[in-house]
């Protein structure tokens, strides 16, 4: 969206064509609200600035509470009289993230941003701690109902956003609880140590893909030996990989990049496969998730990762851990 459009014109454009931003004007678009609110906390978690996010679904109303660093209500924007947080909530940015920070991750491959969520909601209310002050601002259909105001002072932390998708925009405004539950369950295993709540449930997987692998195993015998599991940083990439058992049929492989599933695998899986071949191991199940800290690759990924240099990075990073793991088994 060009900057020549006014705030109101942007809102109208988003509301006329929601599928351009959310991928769907149906329930999948509504579910994007949840994914975007949680993904913002994932970025903070990876930079060690947040430890939890709790999501509540009350019919069509979605709320997310976290203990992150808060939205920048205390910072000016390049628009006179508008703070940076309000601008993020009301104007579309043209970059992967408003400040091109990395890592920048997603729960699914599509990123939305806060402004489209605000524009397509009946109402959005945000409360956010920043610099010892709790800020609050309310919006109706993307329009601020007054300036952000300070409602409390203290040493609080985190943000609460409550939003209700607009039935004038989406055919179904209530997210499917089963779909959301599975997405958040998987996300807790992809970001080991992050606590994720959904209504009364809590998802927490301190051993990440290792714990998810046990769930995905189809043969009990594949759990007899301690699986291969490693988490490491290499060449500005966070790599978590796990492998279980011995293959009796084609290896089942699950892969992710920057928090999003890559069903057609790609360069990261090729690198993992090459490292496995070097130690002459064909596991029954393999899982790999990489987070790229380079801002050029910090956005969402397509079904398949196609970055040839990543294959070499993964193979090099996993060579020694796999060799050590196999030698300990003999």
Question: Reduced to 3 states, what is the DSSP secondary structure of residue 131?
Answer: coil
For residue 22, give the 3-state DSSP assignment. helix
Sequence ranges of the domains in the chain: 7-203, 209-329
The whole-number pLDDT of residue 1 equals 41
Are residues 289 and 261 in contact, defined by beta-carbon separation less than 8 angstroms?
no
Q: Rounded to an integer, what is the distance from CA 183 to the centroid of its chain?
A: 10
- The answer to whether 150 and 135 are in contact (CB under 8 A) is yes
3-state secondary structure of 136: strand
Question: How many residues make up the chain in this entry?
Answer: 330
For domain 209-329, say whether CATH 3.30.230.10 is its number. Answer: yes
Phi first, then psi: what are they for 278, rounded to 5°? -65, -30
pLDDT at 112: 83
Task: Give the N- to C-terminal CA distance of the chain in Å, as an integer.
Answer: 59
**Residue 141: left (phi > 0), alpha (psi -120 to 50), or beta?**
left
Q: What is the DSSP string of 138-207?
A: EEETTEESS--EEEEESS---EEEEEEE-TTT-S--S--HHHHHHHHHHHHHHSTT-EEEETTEEE--TT
Q: Give the SS3 label for residue 231.
A: strand
SS (H, E, C) 259-317: CEECCCCEHHHHHHHHHHHHCCCCCCEEEEEEEECCHHHCCCCCCCECCHHHHHHHHHH
How far is the C-alpha of 83 from the C-alpha of 306, rounded, in Å? 39
Quote the pLDDT of residue 200.
96
CA dihedral sign, ordered 192, 195, 198, 202: positive
Closest CA to 47 of 1, 10, 97, 4: 97
Per-residue pLDDT of the chain (330 residues), as tens digits, is: 444 457 788 889 999 999 998 989 999 999 999 999 999 999 999 999 999 999 999 999 999 999 999 999 999 988 878 899 999 999 885 544 444 445 678 787 567 889 999 999 999 999 999 999 999 999 999 999 999 999 999 999 999 999 999 999 999 999 999 999 999 999 999 999 999 999 999 999 999 999 999 999 988 877 888 999 999 999 999 999 999 999 888 999 999 999 989 999 999 999 999 999 999 999 999 999 999 987 666 555 678 899 999 999 999 999 999 999 999 887
pLDDT, position 120? 97
Q: Find out whether 269 and 255 touch, Cβ atoms under 8 Å.
A: yes
| Contact indicator for 136, 125 with CB cutoff of 8 Å | yes
pTM: 0.90
CA–CA dist 255, 250 (Å, integer) = 16
Q: Does domain 7-203 have CATH number 3.50.50.60?
A: no
């Amino acid at each position: 969206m060009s900057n020549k459009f006014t705030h109101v014109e942007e809102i109208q454009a988003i509301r006329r064509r929601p599928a351009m931003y959310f991928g769907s004007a149906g329930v999948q678009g509504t579910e994007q609200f949840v994914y975007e609110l949680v993904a913002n906390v994932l970025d903070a978690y990876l930079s060690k600035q947040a430890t939890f996010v709790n999501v509540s679904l009350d019919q069509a109303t979605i709320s997310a509470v976290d203990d992150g660093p808060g939205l920048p209500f205390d910072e000016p924007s390049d628009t006179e009289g508008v703070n940076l947080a309000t601008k993020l909530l009301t104007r579309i940015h043209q970059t992967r993230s408003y400040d091109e920070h990395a890592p920048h991750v997603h729960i699914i491959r599509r990123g939305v941003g806060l402004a489209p969520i605000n524009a397509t909601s009946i109402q959005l209310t945000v409360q956010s701690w920043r610099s010892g002050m709790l800020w609050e601002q309310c919006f109706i259909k993307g329009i601020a109902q007054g300036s952000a105001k300070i409602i409390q002072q203290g040493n609080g932390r985190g943000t609460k956003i409550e939003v209700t998708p607009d039935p004038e925009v989406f055919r179904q405004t209530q997210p499917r609880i089963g779909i959301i539950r599975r997405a958040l369950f998987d996300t807790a295993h992809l970001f080991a140590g992050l606590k994720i709540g959904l209504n009364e449930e809590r998802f927490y997987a301190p051993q990440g893909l290792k714990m998810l692998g046990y769930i995905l195993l189809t043969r009990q015998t594949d759990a007899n030996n301690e699986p291969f599991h490693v988490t490491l940083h290499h060449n500005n990439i966070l790599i978590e990989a796990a492998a279980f058992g011995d293959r009796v049929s084609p290896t089942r492989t699950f892969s992710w990049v920057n928090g999003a599933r890559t069903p057609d695998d790609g360069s990261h899986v090729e690198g993992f496969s090459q490292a496995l071949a070097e130690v002459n191991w064909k596991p029954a199940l393999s899982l790999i998730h990489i987070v790229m800290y380079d801002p050029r690759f910090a956005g969402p990924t397509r079904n398949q990762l196609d970055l040839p240099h990543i294959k070499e990075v993964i193979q090099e990073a996993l060579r020694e851990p796999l060799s050590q793991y196999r030698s300990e088994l003999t």
